[in-house]
Amino acid sequence: MFMSDTVSLYLHIPFCRHRCAYCDFNTYTGLGDLQHAYAEALAGEIAQVGQAGRQEAGAPLHARTVFFGGGTPSLMTPADLGLILQNVREQFDLASTAEITMEANPGTVDGPYLEAVRALGVNRLSFGMQSAVEAELALLERSHDYATVQEAVALSRAAGFDNVSLDLIYGLPGQTLDSWRESLNAALALAPDHLSLYCLTIEPGTPMQRWLLEGRIAAPDPDLASEQYDLACARLAAEGWEHYEISNWARPGRACRHNLTYWRNEPYLGLGAGAHGYAGSTRYENVKQPRTYLRRLGEGNGAPYPLSGAAAAAHRVSDEEAMSDTMITQLRLLVEGLDVDAFARRFERGVREVYGETIEQLEGWGLLQERDGRLLLTERGWFLSNQVFYRFL
Ligand code: SF4
């Protein structure tokens, strides 16, 4: 079994105050009274998996990064976050310099809260800003405005956070190139360290999909979304940002180390309701419902590492799947790309031996290139990356 002694930890917090119109994440409203029990259960899951990992490896696993994702992690009290982090530190070897990120909703934080979270060791914040335009925030049913984001970022700096990321969404119904420029300018005016710019996908079962089917909103225009993406690429390049992943830009040294684990197809443990993980050559996902999650963890665990009592599905990753995953994740990295020699060492087969015909075709179309021993998307391939990736499935 491929057993790495270093992992990243993703901790899922499945609570939100309100459900945004486009959201299909595993999150729930009206379950605030479960939060403390959930923190205890998550601490229990960390202990189960941490101990199993320690037995397999003969020593505590190194935790490279910790990421509180959601949902809205910033709804958790500092005491509950502290309980969770204490368990991480007890069960894993967590370096004092490890990146510890918390996703946060701008309207849910104040100065004392941010200071308390910083004191726990959280050293990176990722705020869902999404837009600076009121009509767009209303369409998304976000519960904050631009002034709230401004305040949240200022409070974060005052609390000692020197690594703050903002998320924005383009490709929105009704959004124009000008309104997108306005949001981008507004985000840059807050001097973030990192930016994630996502193209809206209208997911099945969301209110936004219903509005689309009822004709209440227009379908997003892919050509306009492509222009919006190009505008962001040009603007951020001109300002010296590193465009290190298709949808992510960083100031020097501020690339998200946690997400780099996914994009390098390295092992991570997914803990919490509905979390996904990949470690010990196993991919798995946990039960989604928080109440089921609490019950399953209460029943103990007979499952082998990396699974806990909350695992709902798991499978061994074959070499074919691991190679395909490696192509799809590493090609997302626009500067680093896929290391051809490292691929051959890991799989004992050259990347062109496995995917030669597909690679040549994509090179012919100007979507892929090999440079200095690395396969990379071309600039033309950035926005069309999904067309590239599905060919490696
Ligand atoms: S805050 Fe985030 S996770 Fe919660 S409903 Fe909105 S988009 Fe979904």
Domains of the chain and CATH, by start: 6-263 (3.20.20.70), 319-392 (1.10.10.920)
Using an 8 Å Cβ cutoff, are 73 and 117 in contact? no
* Close Cβ partners of 251 (under 8 Å, ≥ 6 residues apart): 193, 194, 241, 242
Query: Does the CB atom of residue 105 touch ligand 1 within 6 A?
Result: yes
Torsion of CA 142, 155, 65, 390, to 10 degrees: 30
pLDDT, position 275? 98
- Here the tokens at position 198 are 């996502």
In 10 A of CB 319, how many CB atoms? Answer: 13
For residue 268, report the phi and psi dihedrals to the nearest 5 degrees: -145, 150
Give the Å distance between the CA of 313 and the centre of ligand 1: 25
Enumerate the H helices of the chain as residue ranges. Answer: 35-57, 78-91, 111-119, 134-140, 146-158, 177-188, 207-213, 222-238, 257-263, 290-298, 319-330, 340-347, 351-364, 379-383, 385-389
Query: Does the CB atom of residue 21 touch ligand 1 within 6 A?
Result: no
* pTM of the entire predicted model: 0.97
Ligand 1 atom showing the smallest separation from residue 22 Cα = 7
**Helix-helix angle 177-188:222-238, to 10 degrees:** 30
pLDDT, position 91? 97
Ligand 1 atom showing the smallest separation from residue 16 Cα = 4
Mean pLDDT per 10-residue interval, the chain, length 393 residues: 82 96 96 97 96 94 97 97 98 96 96 98 98 96 94 98 98 96 98 98 94 93 95 97 98 97 97 97 97 92 90 96 97 97 96 97 97 96 91 92
Using an 8 Å Cβ cutoff, are 12 and 273 in contact? yes
Query: Does the CB atom of residue 220 touch ligand 1 within 6 A?
Result: no
In 10 A of CB 59, how many CB atoms? Answer: 11
* 3-state secondary structure (DSSP) of residue 338: strand
Ligand 1 atom showing the smallest separation from residue 105 Cα = 1
Give the Å distance between the CA of 280 and the centre of ligand 1: 31
pLDDT, position 3? 65
In 10 A of CB 191, how many CB atoms? Answer: 10
pLDDT, position 239? 96
pLDDT in tens, 252-288: 999 999 999 999 999 999 999 999 999 989 999 999 9
Ligand 1 atom showing the smallest separation from residue 18 Cα = 5
Which run of H or of E encompasses 105?
none
* Close Cβ partners of 382 (under 8 Å, ≥ 6 residues apart): 229, 233, 246, 334
Which residue has the CA at smallest separation from atom 2 of ligand 1? 71
Distances in whole angstroms, Cα of residue 304 to Cα of each of 180, 276, 279: 48, 16, 11
- Here the tokens at position 353 are 């031996």
